[in-house]
Structure 1
């Protein structure tokens, strides 16, 4: 599985695949921001593999500027064209993908973007958090499609419910664990653990 192929990954990816004798079978996208999807079309096309993305972020594959401020859009994309890979498949909350002999659970976790997701390998206790959760921080919520109360709800429902020894592989920065973030991340103090539906009056 290739997760979030950003800019200039193709050459290094080929070297790594050759070195470890790996054959990619899917590209998984945690969200549609340009730094996570820049190389998705060339990587999928060259490897003949599908790209998986949540439908709320799918439009960012062809128009990544929609996920940025107007000024950033004008500075970065003057004349650049982006295309979808030939095979795009849509993710849904709670879906379990069987990929390369592993079961990958999809958790819709909006707040950074409307279509942000995380990918969990429950048996291995690993989470690819994208830009939802970082070591000591969380993803920004001030870009189009972002929302601070929503990202806090996602953190409570999708992160704080996991075991402390779950390894977190963020979209940026060093790896961490849920336990470390629960104990030290100031943003998680604002994110109440998800208790599920309540009954009563």
Structure 2
């Protein structure tokens, strides 16, 4: 499926300003541009000069921000066998969930439920798969809305980080749960908190490319808001996602799939890779 980017360039600006605690007046003084220019940028006006002046003071990459403002990039379509993305409507937005499976054993593993697990359940039945495990990236409502139905009221084991316990799921602590296996797949949890208290990225190996299901830690050309800690959201992404091989498929909670290599090149929040 072809999904639009989760964030616009002005969403990136707003997330950075909010996370860094920078006001319009602060940014105007540091960048030498007017408060009106800043207000226009926040409202979606794509002025390259303004964006390039703002970017360094927001710890953003100016070229990537300008490229985003002119809609000049989107990630290449991901077509990886035994990986499926499901996108369902939740109030005024959409949310993703994912299924990976081993082609030989037909063992499948789900990540989050989205707003409605019906498409995933129907896909599992149509493909003759056996849902063996469910993993939660975090427990915000849009990601776990249909957990009881997907897990058949607990018949399928669900795992979540112990900093975000929720009904119907077993908790794990990093360090105790090194990895899980299902068929020929291996699932390794990595801490990417900051957007939520116990945000987890699950790295799946055993397919033709490594896969990282990141929840709301990272989006194509953006990232989740640092609702708990903006600094830690940035730092854990750098440590746990951007150290993965460039061909790793990134499966975000919102928007299209992407890769580590593409995000290094195009994500404004990570200027050090440009």
TM range (shorter): 0.7 to 0.9
Pairs within 5 Å for 1:29-68: 29-46=136-153, 48-58=155-165, 61=166
Say which structure, 1 or 2, has more relative contact order (CA 8 Å, 6+ apart).
2
In 2, distance between residues paired with 1:150 and 1:48?
Answer: 35
The reply on whether 1:150 has 2:236 as its aligned counterpart is no
- The Cα shift of 1:47 comes to 6.8
Residue 112 of structure 1 and its aligned partner are, at CA, apart by 0.7
What is the deviation of 1:188?
Answer: 1.7
Alignment partner, residue 175 of structure 1: 257
Show structure 1 runs of 5+ residues with no match.
62-83, 193-201
- TM-score when normalising by structure 2: 0.55
- SS state of the match for residue 250, structure 2? strand
Which residue of the partner structure matches residue 170 of structure 2?
88
Structure 2 gap ranges (5+): 1-108
Aligned residues: 162
1:120 corresponds in structure 2 to: 203
The counterpart of 2:225, out of the listed 140, 148, 153, is 140
Q: Pairwise CA RMSD of aligned residues?
A: 1.9
Residue 19 to residue 45, structure 1, CA distance change in 2 (3 Å): closer
1:43 CA drift (Å)? 1.8
User: Which is greater in Rg?
Assistant: 2
Paired residue for 1:130, among 203, 215, 223? 215
Q: Is the 8 A contact 1:91 1:106 kept in 2?
A: no
Counterpart Cα distance in 1 of 2:143 and 2:195: 13
